[in-house]
Amino acid sequence: MSPEPSYLVPVQPLEAMLSAKHPLDDLEEGQLEEEQVMQEHVKEGLLEEKPVMQEPCIKTSRWGTGLTSPKEELISHADNVSKTSRWNRSSLTPECEEVMVSEEQQCYSSESGSGHRTVEKLSADENSDREYCSSDHDELENEDPDSSTQGGMDMMLGSRSVNEFQKLNKINEGTYGIVYKARDEKTKEIVALKKIKMKEDRFEEEYGFPLTSLREINILLSCNHPAIVNVKEVVVGGKNDSDVYMVMEHLEHDLRGVMDRRKEPFSTSEVKCLMMQLLDGLKYLHTNWIIHRDLKPSNLLMNNCGELKICDFGMARQYGSPIKPYTQMVITQWYRPPELLLGAKEYSTAVDMWSVGCIMAELLSQKPLFPGKSELDQLQKIFAVLGTPNEAVWPGFSSFPNAKAKFPTQPYNMLRKKFPAISFVGGQILSERGFDLLNSLLTLDPEKRLTVEEALNHGWFHEVPLPKSKDFMPTYPPKR
Ligand SMILES: Nc1ncnc2c1ncn2[C@@H]1O[C@H](COP(=O)(O)OP(=O)(O)OP(=O)(O)O)[C@@H](O)[C@H]1O
């Protein structure tokens, strides 16, 4: 195995991980048993599967695990971080005492033979996104109610004020937040401020903070990789400091905007440069048990130094949206894998690999590969190109809840027609190896789909034209 890049967090010894003080002590009886059982499974899994031990494990905060109340968290850190925000990146530096088995590890139940990490869904009705949320609610509801209700704002103690930033312009408004370009008055640095949209739902009424945002902040503060957007800190503003903003490094563009502006597709070497960065960032996430689950061009930021960075972790590792979108916009299905569309009971890292396949196709052709108008239409579009699956090509296919629908029979894989090896009209062509990578990413059966490691090692990246250096990637005039 090639050595891990230096930006990966050093491996914690297994002993340290398992013997570290676990906040199970703080839980109620019933919960304790349940957690202990999970803990045992984790132990077993770790002991059985040596490679897992050797992989880096980012530390998630106790807020992320929902096992300790935020108040206790603040108290236990009081000596070290008094008057320092819970959200300060530096306060998250892993310490031996704090090393925990992350929630992701507790949830992941198996590692499939193909190398995709599978997570078992936590609820019975898996088509309901809200079920995940309620499972999370349950965890939090078991906490000391006194501390939980105050948690939302307590954790902001010591955070800087948004008034220390000069808002320059609004960049974008998404489902969960409004993003501004701003200048840090102290450092004069240009940053992006994502204002967390607060919404009156049960979770927020009780805990004062949207769950999606809590998770996004927790994950992003824990990640440290050149292809993952850097969140510097969290600041507050508005009446009673009740508005919360994530302060992120600012990137001039996102891939959606860039593709919309370009008149022609990226060259093969440019696609390789972008794909390698995307896969590198994703390898970091998957190695750290994080599934992004919402990879799409608008969530891939780009700058004029040729860098690509993954953003928007609102959906990461929760496998469903806990709150209703604020706008009429729904999360796009175009990059959603067939197993999710079919109502699969388990997700794995393979869901992200499907999205990567769709993104690669779009980079090459400059148009979305499967622009479905509804979930059914999405599946029909996928099957029309890749062939209608059956038990032979995808064992277990017919057991999916949504597999009962009558799909038109398409016995052949037609993908090569869309990405030919030769073009008589001067259009974009794709080599044998390039097509093999694309086709392997777009494998219907997630068990057989390429893993991020396999994709990164694919021969396409080693044949000419080689990936373009970031320094020579095209630049675009700033639009915002
Ligand atoms: N750090 C950043 N620098 C520059 N622009 C950014 C940054 N972060 C986000 N953006 C812009 O804001 C948009 C929305 O951001 P983001 O996806 O994080 O919000 P969201 O509300 O979660 O969106 P969605 O509706 O996709 O869930 C992005 O598509 C991108 O154009």
Q: Whose CA is nearest to atom 16 of ligand 1?
A: 312
User: What is the distance in A from the centroid of ligand 1 to the CA of 291?
Assistant: 18
Q: Among 24-33, 121-130, 370-379, which range has the highest average pLDDT?
A: 370-379
Q: Whose CA is nearest to atom 31 of ligand 1?
A: 254
Q: Which residue has the higher pLDDT, 160 or 33?
A: 160
136, 184, 280, 294: the catalytic one is 294
Please say if 445 is a catalytic residue: no
pLDDT computed for residue 205 by the predictor: 54
User: What is the distance in A from the centroid of ligand 1 to the CA of 312?
Assistant: 6
* Proportion of the chain above pLDDT 90, given as a percent: 47
Q: Which residue has the higher pLDDT, 433 or 480?
A: 433
Classify the phi-psi angles of 328: left when phi > 0, otherwise alpha if psi is within -120 to 50, otherwise beta.
alpha
The amino acid at residue 350 is A
On whether the CB atoms of residues 287 and 478 are closer than 8 A, the answer is no
Average pLDDT over residues 147-165: 67
pLDDT digits (tens, 9 = 90+) for 365-376: 999 999 999 999
In this structure, the number of other CB atoms found within 10 A of the CB of residue 260 comes to 10
Query: Where are the alpha helices (H) located in 70-210, listed in sequence order?
Result: 70-76, 78-81, 103-107, 129-141, 145-154, 202-207
ipTM: 0.97
pLDDT computed for residue 239 by the predictor: 77
- Bridge partners (DSSP) of residue 346 are 120
Average pLDDT over residues 382-398: 96
On whether the CB atoms of residues 140 and 207 are closer than 8 A, the answer is yes
Has residue 56 got a pLDDT over 50?
no
> Of all atoms in ligand 1, which is nearest to the CA of residue 250?
3
pLDDT digits (tens, 9 = 90+) for 243-297: 889 999 999 999 999 999 999 999 999 999 999 999 999 999 999 888 898 999 9
Has residue 426 got a pLDDT over 50?
yes
Rounded CA separation 149/397 (Å): 44
Q: Whose CA is nearest to atom 20 of ligand 1?
A: 174
Query: Ligand 1 test: best mutation among 171, 233, 294, most atoms within 8 Å of CB?
Result: 171
Residue 43 phi/psi, 5-degree rounding, is: -55, -50
pTM value surpassing 0.95: no
On whether the CB atoms of residues 268 and 466 are closer than 8 A, the answer is no
User: What is the distance in A from the centroid of ligand 1 to the CA of 171?
Assistant: 8
Give the strand order in the sheet containing 300-302.
Answer: 253-254, 300-302, 308-310
Has residue 439 got a pLDDT over 70?
yes
pLDDT digits (tens, 9 = 90+) for 81-108: 333 444 545 332 222 222 222 333 333 3
pLDDT digits (tens, 9 = 90+) for 172-214: 887 777 999 999 999 999 999 999 876 644 455 555 667 777 7
Q: Among 16-25, 28-37, 392-401, which range has the highest average pLDDT?
A: 392-401
pLDDT computed for residue 207 by the predictor: 58
Pocket of ligand 1 (CB under 6 A): 171-172, 174-177, 179, 192, 194, 229, 248-251, 254, 298-299, 301, 311-312, 314
pLDDT computed for residue 284 by the predictor: 95
Has residue 381 got a pLDDT over 60?
yes
Average pLDDT over residues 4-30: 30
> Of all atoms in ligand 1, which is nearest to the CA of residue 329?
25
